[in-house]
A = this chain, B = another copy of it.
Amino acid sequence: MSQPEPVLDIAHLGHVELLTPKLEESRRFFVDIWGMVESGRAGDSVYLRGWDDYERHSLKLTAAKEPGLGHYAFRARSQPALERRVKAIEAAGLGIGWTKGDIGHGPAYLFQTPDGHKMELYYETEWYSPPPELKPALKNQAQKFPGRGINVRRLDHINLLASDVTPTRQFHQDVLGMRMTEQIILDNGIEAAGWVTATNKSYDVAISRDHTGTRGRLHHFTYAVDCREDILRAADIYLDNGVFIETGPHKHAIQQTFFLYAYEPGGTRVEIANAGARLILAPDWKPIVWTEAERKKGQAWGLQTVSTFHTYGTPPVEHK
């Protein structure tokens, strides 16, 4: 009863900035294979969007020496909500400072997770306005359905690698106000992974233990499509286009997401997923805690987790 009321200041994952050593090849992958639309360019960056993302972009590709995460950004629920969270971040000693914003959104507060991943928080945004050739038939849709490749719908979640899962997971909960839905605790008490959400989706951020011990790396980010059949077709499309499939399609035991993992040309793991009609509606959802033994059973239908899943991330590191 005297429990503090939940902080509901974060609206949703807004975008991911992906660093890539092969900007043009990465761009072509996301446009031709994923069916994304380019909605901006500036300097060494290209801005892309899924057909149902309401904001101008949800993916920013930036040329870099090594692949990896530039930053990921959440949209706040309101301007006061943004200001409240900035205060909390500063109090946690993880703040970096305000930026003027970027193509597609207004001022953003830059900060980092305890493990060193860059994050931004912003409120002002630009709603996507499609050019005539991309106008949808139904006005409750952001853009015409592309009919190209995998046709990803919208940004779904990001999965970080962390040298230490717990502080970064707790930071998302305690400072940003997200809720944990599932978690893996090994027999030795170490947290192997945690899933947190700011929405009714069962997760917006996953944090997994980096077996190489490196700080601040990216495991993958994920776009949603409408059904599992779309993901099976995506696998056909990867196969016919020579895209390396790391694992899947299969169903995760944890979160029950139907998944397909591949590597984009720059080297980063990317996922296409569908959650069916699964939503976390309970405001007091008790986190599901999975044990080491349960995890060893593999994925939902028995597929063993590939070993690269625990070690490969971007930027790549030598794994001893």
Contact = CB atoms under 8 A, between A and B. Distances in A.
B8 A245 contact: no
Contact of A200 (B138, B224, B279): B279
Interface string A241-254: 11001011111011
Contacts of A8: 8
Interface residues of A, number: 80
Contact of A138 (B54, B247, B256, B285): B256
A306 B253 CA distance: 20
Nearest to A260: B301
Given A5-B81, A301-B249, A228 B229 contact: yes
Contact of A137 (B33, B136, B242, B274): B242
Contacts of A226: 227-228, 276-277
B78 A282 contact: no
Interface in A134-152: 136-141, 144-145, 147-150
Contact of A281 (B12, B229, B236): B12
A283 interface: yes
A277 B54 contact: no
A124 to B, nearest CB: 10
A134 B303 CA distance: 24
A293 interface: no
The residue among A80, A150, A242 with the most chain B CB atoms within 10 A of its own CB is A80
B78 A6 contact: yes
A300 B239 contact: yes
Contacts of A242: 137
A237 B147 contact: yes
A153 B253 contact: no
A269 interface: no
A238 B251 CA distance: 13
A169 interface: no
A283 B239 contact: no
Contacts of A137: 239-240, 242
Contact of A147 (B138, B148, B250, B254): B148
Given A229-B228, A239-B137, A242-B137, A78 B5 contact: yes
Interface string A146-190: 011110011010000000000000000000000000100000000
Interface of A: 1, 3, 5-6, 8, 11-12, 33, 52, 54, 75-81, 136-141, 144-145, 147-150, 153-154, 156, 182, 199-201, 224-230, 232, 235-242, 245, 247-251, 253-256, 258, 274-279, 281-285, 288, 290, 300-303
